[in-house]
Amino acid sequence: MENKRIPFEQLPITDRFMFAMVFSHKEIAKPFLEAVLGIKIHELRDPEPEKTVEVSPFYKGIRYDVFVKETGPGGEILRSFDIEMQMEDTKEIPKRTRYYQAMCDSESLNKGEVYYNLKELYIMFPHRG
């Protein structure tokens, strides 16, 4: 199998590297999220491309393509966003989204904290279908 090198300038946004590179800049991620979701975002923390979450060596972990949190005026977390690049419909997006949400929520509360404190979470799986 031959690896073809594509010049950086010609990489499409659908390329895994380019997608993570572009959306790891909050100056790009913020207006994108505001436009797509029709919301106003106060401030984004630095986006984390290819962030992985593993709760146990025995259970399936996840890898977010780009994960970013919105913070309020006092630095408190307001919402979280997972931006995924999905190039094909694998017919499992609803269950995959459910699993990603569960994994993200499992890290959101400390022991003894009430469920009411869960923050908004947006998981985006745009794809061509």
pLDDT of amino acid 87:
76
Better pLDDT: 14 or 121: 121
User: Hey, which residues does 122 pair with through a beta bridge?
Assistant: 81
Q: For residue 109, what are its two tokens?
A: 């509360």
pLDDT > 80? residue 128: no
Q: Look up the pTM and report it.
A: 0.84
CA distance 33 to 41: 8
pLDDT per position as a tens digit, 72-110: 999 999 999 999 988 777 888 889 999 999 998 888 889
pLDDT per position as a tens digit, 32-44: 999 999 999 999 9
Q: With cut-offs at 50, 70 and 90, classify the pLDDT of residue 29.
A: very high
67: alpha, beta or left? (left if phi > 0; alpha if psi -120 to 50): beta
Return mean pLDDT, the chain. 88
